[in-house]
Amino acid sequence: MSVRLSRRQLLQQTSTAAAAAVGLSACSGRSLLTAASEDPPFVSRPDLTPPQVRVRRHGALGEPRYIFLNAPYSGPGHGGSYILDHQGHLVWFGPNTATRRRMNFGVQTYQGRPVLTWFQGLIVPLGYGKGELVIADSSYKFQHVIRPPHGELADFHEFYMTPEGTALITIYRKHSGIDLTKHKGPKDGHVISGVAQEIDIKTGNLMWEWDSINHVPLADSHEYLFPGQGTKASPYNYFHINSVSPTFDNSGDVLISGRNTWCIYRVKRNKAGTLVWRLNGKRSFFNMGAGSHFYWQHHVREFSGNRITVFDNGAKPVKEKDSRAIILTVDTAQRHVGLQKAYIHPGEVLLAGAMGSAQLLEDGRMFVGWGTEPHFSEFAADGRLLLDGDMAVGDPSYRAFTQAWSGHPVELPAAAARHRSGGGAVVYASWNGATDVATWRVFAGKSKSALREVGSGRKSGFETAIGVRHNGPFFAAQAYDAKGNALARSAPVQIR
């Protein structure tokens, strides 16, 4: 027999630390929804310590999707990649290690199936990555690990998978012997360029490469060369590539974003890397209309109707009052760029000095990751705020996305059992990454091999607590979907 337990009863009947993991609030309207809980967050998975996230809903969101975030800078065992539902409850957490920070986490399509993709590796002080790119299937198992050829290391800023089975990625490449005297640097200077590569995912072969050092002069940069920079120890990061993506017209061209040149480049994927146009920056091909200028931008994408989305950081140094997600309209015939829509956080000033994303959804909604301002928001097409979330201080997400996902972990569910005052037990059940669980059933017995059903409960957040009038001492939890189909059972655990 199962027993419904309130949060207060759980706090009274079990240890405070254990019970605190149960009471994730689930309110409606404008109420606060909290995804994280007190330390330790989960009784059944004490090894998972995700960052704290709060989510506020302000209206109907339309088709529900999951939220994909990453926290790269927290200590080992805390930062990592994580998936939340739109109520703010944790769905999956993939922790960082001391040598492998995760960045740029989301869902893409590979061979007709949705997959998870991310960067993992080191993040160097100049603000780029040295690592590899991972593709994982719906069971969270690695399918492919992509590494650039010739011993170079992948950067975290871009990982775009094309329908042709290739990946557009970024690399930061060092160059020496460059005269920087015009920029008040050394004559025998050191520079970092931005490299875009296209790699065949299956074979790992390099299909195409573009290096900013061959196409964009140092004079186009807005990055100030500070005294002591331009040296081997501190090379000049004049370009700072941070996104590469195909154009919407399937021409084979790509859009490349240079943060430190404030410019978007349309480039042909030919051997020469022929420049088609420059948008914004010092030598724009276009007349930039009112409100269309951007500064230190991130996450450039093109859509139908000659529209381009940009996360306009506006800092650092500060050039604007707020960071914005913007939709630009590009008229190549008239060489004019206009501002169609700008999304600014209505509640507080968010000015992100780095990172950030602007995800335009099919129904016109805009999902914004505010970069180094540890927030994410969803807006209606007309600009109304529908969802607003924030992460613990010090845990910014490089990009933030909302996407459909169906996860089926290969690992078994986890369970833990604790004594309950007055007899019986509280059983805690979770299954990291499972999206189909609707209910849990609890099994108990005097031995691991002789368990019978003693209670059940509806899934409640990442971890569900179910009180039962049984002393075990052995318990297990089994997950069921909404149709009552058994999914998987945890290993038996002993009460303590």
Which one, of 446, 444, 431, lies nearest residue 486 by Cα? Answer: 431
d(CA 207, CA 191): 25
d(CA 432, CA 172): 34
pLDDT value at residue 343: 98
Same domain, 16 and 81: no
Quick check: 15 pLDDT over 60? Answer: no
pLDDT value at residue 19: 29
Same domain, 418 and 458: yes
d(CA 69, CA 294): 25
Quick check: 325 pLDDT over 50? Answer: yes
Q: Which residue has the tokens 């021409």?
A: 251
Return all residues near 72 (Cβ < 8 A) that are at least 6 apart: 79, 96, 101, 102, 103, 123, 398
pLDDT value at residue 74: 62
In total, how many domains does the chain have?
Answer: 2
Same domain, 335 and 453: no
Q: Answer yes or no: are the C-beta atoms of 410 and 433 closer than 8 Å.
A: no
Amino acid residing at 17: A
d(CA 282, CA 263): 8
Same domain, 181 and 219: yes
Which one, of 267, 243, 247, 256, lies nearest residue 356 by Cα? Answer: 243
Q: What percent of the chain has pLDDT over 90?
A: 81
pLDDT value at residue 41: 81
Q: Answer yes or no: are the C-beta atoms of 337 and 287 closer than 8 Å.
A: yes
d(CA 472, CA 456): 15
Same domain, 428 and 306: no
Q: What is the CATH number of the domain that holds 238?
A: 2.120.10.30
Q: What is the CATH number of the domain that holds 469?
A: 2.60.40.10
pLDDT value at residue 484: 97
Same domain, 7 and 118: no
pLDDT value at residue 402: 96
pLDDT value at residue 120: 96
pLDDT value at residue 86: 87
pLDDT value at residue 21: 28
Same domain, 444 and 470: yes
pLDDT value at residue 347: 87
d(CA 82, CA 76): 15
- Domain membership flag for residue 437: yes
Same domain, 422 and 396: no
Quick check: 452 pLDDT over 70? Answer: yes
Q: What is the pLDDT of residues 264-314, one digit of tens each?
A: 999 999 999 999 999 999 999 999 999 999 999 999 999 999 999 999 999
Mean pLDDT, residues 171-199 taken together: 96
pLDDT value at residue 77: 52
Same domain, 204 and 280: yes
Which of these three, 370, 403, 436, is where a domain ends? 403
pLDDT value at residue 39: 42
d(CA 425, CA 404): 36
- Residue 336: exposed, middle, or buried by beta-carbon count in 10 A (0-12, 13-18, 19+)? middle
Quick check: 49 pLDDT over 80? Answer: yes
Q: What is the pLDDT of residues 343-365, one digit of tens each?
A: 999 988 999 999 999 999 999 99
The pair of structure tokens assigned to 491 is 């290993």
Which of these three, 385, 403, 421, is where a domain ends? 403
Q: Which residue has the tokens 């993506």?
A: 245
Q: Answer yes or no: are the C-beta atoms of 69 and 88 closer than 8 Å.
A: no
Quick check: 8 pLDDT over 90? Answer: no
- Domain membership flag for residue 169: yes
* CA torsion, ordered 386, 391, 397, 399, to nearest 10 deg: 0
pLDDT value at residue 64: 67
Mean pLDDT, residues 375-403 taken together: 91
- Domain membership flag for residue 27: no
Lowest-confidence pick of 23-27, 170-174, 399-403, 461-465: 23-27
Quick check: 416 pLDDT over 70? Answer: yes
229 C-beta neighbours (distance < 10 Å), count = 21
Terminal-residue alpha carbon distance, the chain: 20
- Domain membership flag for residue 200: yes
* pLDDT, the chain, mean: 90
Q: What is the pLDDT of residues 219-243, one digit of tens each?
A: 999 999 988 899 999 999 999 999 9
Quick check: 28 pLDDT over 70? Answer: no
Same domain, 331 and 446: no
Q: Answer yes or no: are the C-beta atoms of 413 and 430 closer than 8 Å.
A: yes
- Domain membership flag for residue 261: yes
| Cα of 106 vs its chain's centroid, Å | 6
Largest CA distance in the chain: 80
Backbone angles phi, psi at 132, to 5 degrees: -140, 165
d(CA 68, CA 91): 10
Q: Answer yes or no: are the C-beta atoms of 354 and 334 closer than 8 Å.
A: no
Amino acid residing at 474: F
Which of these three, 357, 380, 403, is where a domain ends? 403
Which one, of 436, 451, 427, lies nearest residue 5 by Cα? Answer: 427
Quick check: 380 pLDDT over 50? Answer: yes
Q: Which residue has the tokens 């015009």?
A: 182
d(CA 413, CA 92): 12
Which one, of 125, 132, 76, lies nearest residue 103 by Cα? Answer: 132
Mean pLDDT, residues 175-187 taken together: 94
Residue 419's Cβ-side half-sphere holds a number of Cα atoms within 13 Å equal to 5
Return the HEC string of the chain: CEECCCHHHHHHHCCHHHHCCCCCCCCCCCCEEECCCCCCCCCCCCCCCCCCEEEEECCCCCCCCEEEEEECCCCCCCCEEEEECCCCCEEEEEECCCCCEEEEEEEEEECCEEEEEEEEEEEECCCEEEEEEEEECCCCCEEEEECCCCCCCECCCCEEECCCCEEEEEEEEEEEEECCHHHCCCCCEEEEEEEEEEEECCCCCEEEEEEHHHCCCHHHCCCCCCCCCCCCCCCEECCCEEEEEECCCCCCCEEEEEHHHCEEEEECCCCCCCEEEEECCCCCCCEECCCCCCCCCEEEEEECCCEEEEEECCCCCCCCCCCEEEEEEEECCCCEEEEEEEECCCCCCCCCCCCCEEEECCCCCEEEECCCCCEEEEECCCCCEEEEEEECCCCCCCCCEEECCCCCCCCCCEEEEEECCCCCEEEEEECCCCCCCCEEEEEEEEECCEEEEEEEEECCCCEEEEEECCCCCEEEEEEECCCCCEEEECCCEECC
Q: Which residue has the tokens 């893409």?
A: 108
pLDDT value at residue 40: 54
- Domain membership flag for residue 144: yes
For residue 420, the enclosing domain spans 2-22+412-494
Same domain, 38 and 183: yes
